[in-house]
Structure 1
């Protein structure tokens, strides 16, 4: 038996069903204290926040690209140490575990760059349409691997939350693909509306999040299409992928991707986008993965999961300063 199989966490994956938070009826303003407070939060307090979110988003759209991104870098370095101290403590613990030979100064520098990158992400969301247009701002490497894989059949694009990953969708559209994405809507009604609207404008077809997205994904792949799934993920504040030295498991998107690839004979195309300087990026496609044959369906599931993890984990480890989930728990 392979060493990976001896240590695998073979817990059956629980299907996750996304449910949007329910809207309290206006009549709850006249009910008991708990329901009245919930109604006030939803209809008054949250809507004030929503208005601020819309004003910020559309206001940032008016700024030049470099200025908009630089504002985000400043905000990340300013806001996170003051109002997200718990997240930074988690990030620091992760850096100590993942980089045991690094000095305190080296880890502090990585964490500072991570804060700035997260801040840039937030403001760049407003200008992603301009940022992702064909230009000298983004250098693309090995795109021909993706194009060749698509000629042969269905493709699962495996993205990573590095640099600014929102740039990927427009590139796939530019290549003539019609990518469909599975993602979890952000918290907050304004943020969710902005995210959906923007991704649709960028050319993505949005699949339902969670369990409800599996059937549409299968249909697209069996029709020879392209879907995009991110295999590094934080769920409930905990990192599910990559494994980062923990036993391989069957929870999360790594297992979903390998199962979908088996069921549809899809080629897995991992890739990532790194920030090089300010609002400039370098995107790299990794070698496509065609899963080896298996004698019995499901017989190689653990090996498949380990194979995909081996492709993406070194990239995450090498670029922790740009990893979005660094402040989640291992």
Structure 2
């Protein structure tokens, strides 16, 4: 079995049903659902498509400046209304003590909002940022030999820099095939349509949650015909608990799935992360594979979790302003 044996339509997020028209007069949750369906995925769609078209024709340096400005404006508004935004300087200082002074933590918080503005602006333009020599690969010698030996592997990743370029990276390697992955759907039908459209164009099989997806992934892993991309810092129960930063490993989520799959299918784990530099484009870093034979059999899953954490914790600490999941990370 290969990914091409599965209809790619089964990778699409479930359709979010239309709420009642009069739910705009309901409680806060009902109003939010109404706004997302009728406004964000309705009235504003032509505006969003027009903006995307304009940005597609705009020089990338100007696109990034616009993203920074947008992030700055949103940050100023959220510092007044959102608890996480007010806590952001403290979260930064807790993770990176080098930024613990009041001046440094406030500056880092402002930079974080600017970087997230760039993240959102680049989201629909990733093909421009990864075309030609704008996708700069570092350390690919750590992964390509595995592919050349027909050794399938798990690609671990985090929401750092231009993490949405994972799809572009996945199809850029020698012997590229249809890699698979797991994802959490977006909050509106329009966003889900945008994501699915981009992934289907690259023949990427990235599955939403659900039992059908779990059966597909299990069958593909058993057949050993594909790699799998797994983001290990996703939100579980309202929080992102990876990296550990001194906390105990969380028992649920993608890191546990990665550890289980690696042990069950004897698959190496190749850590990958993306960073944004001064030049337009994406720097993709591929680190040495964690091989199954290097792990103790009697404590395999715990050991691989610690190894993956040891890779990403210093990278995220040193590049905290480009880490999207900072907003979902608990202080303790």
User: Is 2:84 the counterpart of 1:91?
Assistant: no
Aligned length: 306
Residues 184-232 of structure 1: per-residue CA shift (max 9 Å, x gap): 1211111111111112224422223355433322322332311111112
Contact 1:90 1:329 in 2 (8 A): no
Q: Aligned residue for 1:8?
A: none
Aligned CA distance change for structure 1 residues 199 and 90 (closer, same or farther; 3 Å): farther
User: Is 2:165 the counterpart of 1:170?
Assistant: no
Q: CA deviation at 1:111?
A: 1.8
Q: CA deviation at 1:173?
A: 1.0
What is the RMSD of the two structures over their aligned residues, measured on CA atoms?
Answer: 2.8
Residues 47-91 of structure 1: per-residue CA shift (max 9 Å, x gap): 123443333333322322222222111111122221354232232
The 3-state SS of whatever aligns with 1:163 is coil
Q: Aligned residue for 1:64?
A: 59
Aligned CA distance change for structure 1 residues 207 and 90 (closer, same or farther; 3 Å): same
User: Is 2:123 the counterpart of 1:125?
Assistant: yes
The 3-state SS of whatever aligns with 2:109 is helix
Unaligned runs of 5+ in 1: 1-17
Equivalents in 1 of 2:38, 2:283: separation in Å? 43
Contact 1:76 1:120 in 2 (8 A): yes
Equivalents in 1 of 2:253, 2:207: separation in Å? 17
The 3-state SS of whatever aligns with 2:325 is coil
1:235-246 matches, within 5 Å, as 235-246=236-247
Q: Aligned residue for 1:100?
A: 97
1:1-330 matches, within 5 Å, as 21-24=16-19, 28-29=20-21, 34=26, 41=35, 44-46=38-40, 47-83=42-78, 85=80, 86=82, 87-101=84-98, 102-135=100-133, 137-150=134-147, 151-175=149-173, 176-177=175-176, 178-209=178-209, 212-222=212-222, 223-291=224-292, 292=294, 295=297, 299-330=299-330
Contact 2:181 2:206 in 1 (8 A): yes
Equivalents in 2 of 1:118, 1:31: separation in Å? 31
The 3-state SS of whatever aligns with 1:326 is helix
Q: Normalising by structure 2, report the TM-score.
A: 0.82
Which range moves more in the overlay, 254-263 or 143-152?
A: 143-152
